């Protein structure tokens, strides 16, 4: 019998994701894949496996599942509430998922969370990837009652965590193709305007609500449709900014006021609705340097792994632990 | 009548232009507006980029009058790639490039107006034509697939006469169904998936443009031409192979 997880309940917005399908841009199919690529890397580091493996993405959704065998699980991305047979699990960490135990996850403040299984999800490959591209009708959302195969797991460590990523609320932008269309005054106003994350958002894009008037341009309604990349901040006809995400369209005619650095997208993806962001333009060479540094940091995440310290209040069988004997080196007492 | 689309004037000064896209992309544009020769140039330049296959280039694509290139920041930098693009641009007159090989003419039936094209009257009015004349104009000449984009397999078709240079609407229509025919800025699009849009919905086809289960998942290719004709029974179109469309080779 193959290793698998069974989905006992799934709200809308749960899907199987991986790094998506690069290479079909010319045919109008965007890369898709996990919205939060940092979360993919964090889960891979926590489980000591490749970040090419498929995971569950919870786009603000909730899920209840159990495993056919003893497995390992890691939880990354936006903070969510997780319990295993009713006992709370620490987010941003790896845990044992014993056979038959019920893992229940529900959103706390919103955003995109990720559930990684040791060995990765062995969902069917379509056009070179396992990730569902919901906008393109490729694959589908995870449904209650689904069984998803899980690949062989060569690792065994659990109880690890990563230091929480330092996520502020500044979205750094580089100029985009149509940035100049808006004029210096509008660009300065964009940087000065509080931008509130709206409840409306999905894998295609996240709406931001500016304080005061929007950023509409007259000419913007008749510009030529042009290539779009994830992170582009599209201004629709009513002046509202949308940050386009991994499942965005490949071309579009609404002007883009700038492009959010890929390294800053997790800030937006992990925040709850109502979070206030600020936009700040930075020069392209600075942005390229930041991205190169972030790629290096992502690749070396496993060096930052720390043992997970359990909060004594969360340990129901506390009295079974020897609490006083032994000496600790001290460093494992750092909080994750 | 299957005449070739009208040839537009050469691009204006300042093109071709190389601009950056996001943190790891370049766009080489051959015009600032829709232009027949610039569209050919973009298709030919992208084909050349594929042939060159420079190290570190992750992906190439075309939009209407531009070629896009995405690269790996760990393997290249902006300066050296821009220099390579400059050299390739200077190596020939891209505006004289021929259209891609293997082009086809697709005759595509459309149900115009009514529930299947609720904004036909509004679009016709903006174009200064009666509804009947608008349909006649849109079916009079083939339009070319200038690029595939926005959604998988979705063609941007052009170019329509000058009076069809109508803007997108300011608000979004929340949902227009798959295979819908929409219009704005001298172009037509057949949607490959249901989508919100700012373009005006004027008709409905039976085309299935994206077939992920097929060996070749994309029905249309850049350079193909599409000649629309009016039909009235959408259910029949939807049951027909290729939505009632037939293709022939263009020589």
Distance CA A55, CA A65 (A): 13
> To the nearest whole number, what is the mean pLDDT of chain A?
91
Nearest CA in chain A to B43: A26
pLDDT tens-digit profile of B166-199?
A: 998 888 899 999 999 999 989 999 999 998 888 9
Higher per-residue confidence, A119 vs A201? A119
> To the nearest whole number, what is the mean pLDDT of chain B?
92
Q: Are residues A18 and A71 in the same domain?
A: yes
Q: Residue A102 — pLDDT band, cuts 50, 70, 90?
A: very high
Contact call for A127 and B68, based on CB within 8 A: no
Ranking A114-118, B127-131, B176-180, B191-195 by mean pLDDT, the lowest is B191-195
Q: Count other C-beta atoms under 10 Å from residue A303's C-beta.
A: 8
**pLDDT at residue A1 tops 80:** no
| N residues, chain A | 336
Q: Are residues A30 and A143 in the same domain?
A: yes
Phi, psi dihedrals of residue B47, rounded to the nearest 5°: -60, -40
Mean pLDDT of B51-70: 95
Q: Are residues A247 and A313 in the same domain?
A: no
Q: Are residues A136 and A8 in the same domain?
A: yes
CA angle B138, B139, B145 (to 5 degrees): 75
Q: Are residues A78 and A129 in the same domain?
A: yes
Nearest CA in chain A to B170: A237
Q: Are residues A329 and A281 in the same domain?
A: no
Mean pLDDT of A37-64: 97
Q: Are residues A272 and A214 in the same domain?
A: yes
Nearest to B64 among A22, A225, A287 (CB): A225
**pLDDT at residue B5 tops 50:** no
Nearest CA in chain B to A233: B22
* pLDDT value for B12: 56
Tell me whether residue A299 is in a domain. Answer: no
Structural domain boundaries, residue A128: 4-160
Tell me whether residue A22 is in a domain. Answer: yes
Asked if residue A203 lies in contact with residue A221, where contact means CB atoms within 8 angstroms, the answer is no
Q: How many domains does chain A contain in total?
A: 3
DSSP letter for B122, please: H
Beta bridge partners of B68: B27, B61
Task: Beginning with the edge strand found earlier in the chain, give each strand of the sheet holding B66-71 in spatial order.
Answer: B17-21, B25-29, B66-71, B57-62
**pLDDT at residue B119 tops 50:** yes
Q: Are residues A183 and A126 in the same domain?
A: no
Tell me whether residue A255 is in a domain. Answer: yes
CATH number of residue A194's parent domain: 2.40.100.10
Q: Are residues A23 and A151 in the same domain?
A: yes
Distance CA B37, CA B107 (A): 24
Q: Are residues A13 and A128 in the same domain?
A: yes
Asked if residue A248 lies in contact with residue A256, where contact means CB atoms within 8 angstroms, the answer is no
Ranking A93-97, A118-122, B144-148 by mean pLDDT, the lowest is B144-148
Nearest to A225 among B63, B165, B195 (CB): B63
Q: Are residues A141 and A191 in the same domain?
A: no
Asked if residue A248 lies in contact with residue A205, where contact means CB atoms within 8 angstroms, the answer is yes
**Yes or no: domain B104-249 corresponds to CATH 2.60.40.1220:** no
Phi, psi dihedrals of residue B43, rounded to the nearest 5°: -65, -45
DSSP letter for A170, please: E
**pLDDT at residue B11 tops 80:** no
Tell me whether residue A251 is in a domain. Answer: yes
* pLDDT value for A264: 97
pLDDT tens-digit profile of A194-230?
A: 999 999 889 999 999 999 999 988 766 667 889 999 9
In B39-126, DSSP assigns E strands to 57-62, 66-71, 104-112
Contacts with B245 (C-beta within 8 Å, 6 or more apart), sequence order: B106, B107, B108, B109, B205, B206, B207
Contact call for A252 and B150, based on CB within 8 A: yes
Q: Which CATH number fits domain B11-96: 3.40.109.10, 3.40.640.10, 2.40.50.100, 3.30.1360.40?
A: 3.30.1360.40
Q: Residue A315 — pLDDT band, cuts 50, 70, 90?
A: low
**pLDDT at residue A328 tops 70:** no
Asked if residue A75 lies in contact with residue A92, where contact means CB atoms within 8 angstroms, the answer is yes
**pLDDT at residue B2 tops 90:** no
Domain boundaries, chain B: 11-96, 104-249
**pLDDT at residue A302 tops 70:** yes
Tell me whether residue A88 is in a domain. Answer: yes
């Amino acid at each position: 019998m193959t290793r698998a997880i069974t989905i006992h309940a799934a709200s809308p917005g749960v899907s199987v994701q991986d790094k998506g399908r690069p290479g079909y841009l010319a045919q109008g199919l965007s890369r898709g894949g996990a919205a939060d690529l940092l979360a993919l890397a964090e889960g891979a580091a926590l489980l000591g496996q490749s970040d090419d493996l498929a995971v569950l993405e919870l786009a603000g959704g909730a899920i209840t599942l159990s495993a056919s065998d003893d497995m390992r699980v890691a939880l990354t991305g936006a903070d969510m509430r997780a319990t295993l047979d009713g006992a709370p699990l620490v987010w941003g960490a790896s845990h044992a998922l014993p056979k038959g135990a019920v893992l229940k996850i529900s959103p706390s403040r919103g955003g995109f969370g990720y559930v990684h299984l040791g060995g990765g999800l062995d969902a069917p490959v379509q056009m070179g990837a396992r990730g569902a591209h919901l906008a393109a009708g490729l694959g589908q959302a995870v449904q209650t009652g689904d069984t998803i195969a899980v690949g062989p797991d060569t690792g065994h460590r659990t109880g690890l965590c990563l230091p929480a990523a330092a996520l502020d609320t500044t979205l750094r932008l580089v100029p985009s193709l149509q940035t100049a269309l808006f004029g210096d005054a509008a660009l300065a106003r964009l940087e000065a305007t509080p931008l509130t994350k709206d409840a409306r958002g999905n894998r295609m894009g996240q709406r931001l609500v500016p304080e005061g008037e929007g950023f509409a341009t007259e000419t913007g309604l008749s510009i030529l449709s042009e290539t779009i990349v994830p992170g582009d901040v599209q201004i629709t006809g009513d002046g509202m900014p949308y940050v386009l995400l991994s499942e965005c369209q490949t071309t579009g005619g609404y002007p883009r006021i700038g492009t959010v650095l890929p390294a800053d997208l997790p800030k937006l993806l992990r925040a709850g609705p109502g979070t206030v962001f600020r936009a700040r333009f930075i020069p392209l060479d600075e942005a390229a340097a930041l991205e190169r540094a972030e790629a290096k940091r992502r690749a070396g995440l496993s060096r930052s792994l720390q043992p997970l310290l359990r909060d004594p209040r969360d340990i129901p069988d506390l009295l079974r632990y020897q609490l006083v004997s032994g000496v600790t080196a001290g460093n494992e007492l750092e909080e994750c | 009548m299957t005449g070739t689309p009208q040839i537009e004037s050469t691009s204006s000064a300042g093109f071709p232009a190389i601009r950056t896209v996001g943190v790891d992309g370049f766009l080489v544009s051959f015009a600032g507006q829709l232009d027949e020769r610039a569209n050919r140039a973009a298709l030919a330049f992208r084909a050349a980029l594929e042939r060159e296959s420079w190290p570190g280039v992750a992906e190439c694509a075309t939009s209407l009058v531009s070629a896009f290139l995405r690269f790996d920041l760990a393997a290249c930098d902006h300066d050296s790639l821009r220099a390579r693009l400059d050299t390739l641009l200077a190596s020939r007159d891209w505006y004289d490039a021929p259209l891609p090989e293997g082009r086809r003419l697709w005759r595509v039936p459309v149900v115009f107006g009514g529930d299947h094209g609720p904004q036909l009257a509004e679009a016709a009015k903006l174009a200064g034509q009666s509804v009947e004349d608008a349909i006649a104009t849109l079916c009079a000449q083939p339009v070319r697939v200038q690029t595939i984009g926005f959604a998988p397999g979705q063609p941007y078709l052009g170019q329509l006469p000058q009076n069809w240079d109508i803007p997108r609407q300011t608000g979004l229509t929340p949902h227009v169904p798959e295979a819908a025919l929409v219009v704005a800025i001298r172009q037509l699009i057949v949607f490959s998936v249901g989508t919100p849009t700012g373009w005006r919905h004027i008709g409905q086809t039976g085309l299935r443009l994206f077939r992920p289960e097929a060996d070749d998942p994309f029905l249309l290719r850049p350079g193909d031409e599409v000649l629309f004709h009016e039909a009235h029974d959408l259910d029949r179109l939807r049951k027909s192979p290729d939505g009632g469309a037939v293709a022939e080779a263009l020589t």
